[in-house]
Amino acid sequence: MTRSSVLVLVFTLMPSASRGGDRPVADLFPAETFAYAEAADFPKLAHVLAAWVKGTTLADGVAAQHDRRDAIKDHKFISAQADLARFGLIASPEFLADFGRVRGVGVAFTGFNEKREPRLVMAVLLGDSTALSLFARMILTVDPDVRRIASVEGVPVCQYRPFGGPSYGPDGQIRPMNASKLAEGTFEPTFAFTPGLFVIGSDRSAVADVVRRYLGKESTPSLASSADFQNGRQLKGELVLFARPAKIISRLDAANHSIPGFQDPDWLAILKLAGNPRAIPTVSGAILLKPDGWSLEVTASIAPGERSPLLECLTGTPITGPTALSAAMALDSSFTMPPAPAGAAALFNLADAVGKAIGCLGPLPSERYAGVPDVRSLIGAVQRVRMEWPMAKGQSAPLPVVVLECESATSSARWTAAVPLLVQKTLRSQAATSPVTESIGGISVSTLTTGDSGLGHVYYAVKGSHVAAGFDRSALLVALNRESQPGQTKAVAAVSVSVLALFERLGSPATSPFPTLGIAALIGPGPHSLPVDPHVTLKDVFAPMPPISASVNRAGGKLLVRIEQSQWDAVRVGVINTAVNWWERFLTDTRQPQNQFLPRGLMFDR
């Protein structure tokens, strides 16, 4: 008995068998993979994750969970607190230590199936991780609804195939179960596990290919051997990205155009006409995670001989970008104009391409703004364009302000003289409207009505060589009087944006604190709880987050993009604790549907 116990203990603590050897994660995917993301330095990822949760309620261990449990005053919070406690296990030192033993994770978009659905697959090289290996094995064995639909080199490939309830014959007796081969789903979560490897994919074919490569049974070239992929490995980070935009769009085009009468959606048409994916054959990137923030660097190769209206606009001389955002600013951006006289032509080419993509009615921008005034000459005199977007005040929506930094005061005066005609051409009015001018703080501010367009009034003013225009007079004056401070990064285009402003612009509206009138209001809530107004909202979570900044440059035949967010340490604890409070209330007030990617009985299953 003692010998058996010792043997069990030894085999449990032994490192997981790694039939994949020391090959890179990218070796598990085909060479023609369209897009790929990889994480390989898990010891460092575990260290960063531990730094992020340090001092928060997630990292306070058993005592913190019991403090929350002792404070429960309503039965409906019991199950939510249990789910939250399970979620908090990821912050435990035991989990982080096991997490650091993972050898690598790769996620790939390898193509399309016969129904034009994307073929996606994720491979996890479990390494010496015991907990994640047991978790993967549990997914494929514990739930009776996970069924084998095929085998690859002796490895079961599984999908969700519920047994269903019993069926009865004419005699009232339960019929025997049908033991025939299960039907295979062509686009649904598909799993496979073999010691050292766990795979989740969109279909059997994608999963089977990874399993064969891991076992050394596939002889075709892998992504790791691709020259394009190897060239992009120069960027270093905890997460590595790679994509082939030209091939993705080409294959998507071929699939879509096989459908009679198919028309590209606007976003795809804009991407093809304004961006020209053939001009960017490959994109490589790396995400660097730090205790105080994160950064993303992307390098896109530019194919010689391929013209792209968007890339032609990014040929200006790099200058310092916008400075850090103030609390009153939602967005601050700058753009260096391409050198004259090609700059105006590049902008009109881009505007015309977008107009054609969305099916613009009437003349294209280059045709609409032809004649007097000479818009091309006006654009040629602009050296830099800035756009500021103040934060919303109360219920009023924020309105942007555009500032043109011209080469001289004479050029800015020409712009102010041309504004009435430009507004007329934009609105397609019969005649230009005369502005109303007033002096505010020594600055002459002009006002133009936009008639019944619903845009309100346009305000514009000049100060030296700067011209500002917008729909908010006070914001215009603030932008025009703002002294330009040197930034930290030189770029052709740069932007700093508030996370809260992004959420308010793109996020879903807040849940109403009252249930919708109807049957539920008469008979009360049904089996699932009706949403109620939470104590904290997502807005409370995003409000203190530091802004995100981005910069764009061109150098050596490549497009360089950098996105980063820093200064996390000062707000990290408050943001995570607020998010935990919101998540607990969300789990209490809403019941989540079953997610097939996660096993039932753990979390997110209500």
The answer to whether 226 and 36 are in contact (CB under 8 A) is: no
In the structure, what pLDDT confidence band is assigned to residue 385 with cuts at 50, 70 and 90?
very high
**Cα–Cα dist 308/540, whole Å:** 41
Residue 218: which residues within 8 A CB-CB, separation 6 or more?
Answer: 209, 212
Quickly list H helices, 88-165.
93-99, 130-141
pLDDT digits (tens, 9 = 90+) for 47-57: 998 888 888 88
CA angle 58, 63, 67 (to 5 degrees): 90
pLDDT, average across residues 369-383: 92
The answer to whether 553 and 491 are in contact (CB under 8 A) is: yes
**Cα–Cα dist 600/515, whole Å:** 29
**C-alpha separations of 568 from 30, 296, 336, 583 in Å:** 38, 15, 30, 20
Q: Within its chain, how far is the Cα of 453 from the centroid? A: 34
Shortest CA distance to 444 belongs to which of 475, 468, 472?
468
- Percent of the chain past pLDDT 70, that is, above it, reads 86
Shortest CA distance to 586 belongs to which of 544, 541, 545, 554?
541
Shortest CA distance to 501 belongs to which of 551, 456, 539, 466?
539
Q: How many residues does the chain have?
A: 606
pLDDT digits (tens, 9 = 90+) for 557-597: 899 999 999 988 889 999 998 988 888 777 776 644 444 44
Residue 43: which residues within 8 A CB-CB, separation 6 or more?
Answer: 100
Location of structure tokens 């730090």: 290
pLDDT, average across residues 439-458: 86
**Cα–Cα dist 425/432, whole Å:** 8
**Cα–Cα dist 159/148, whole Å:** 7
Tell me the pTM: 0.82
Question: What is the pLDDT, as a whole number, of residue 454?
Answer: 72
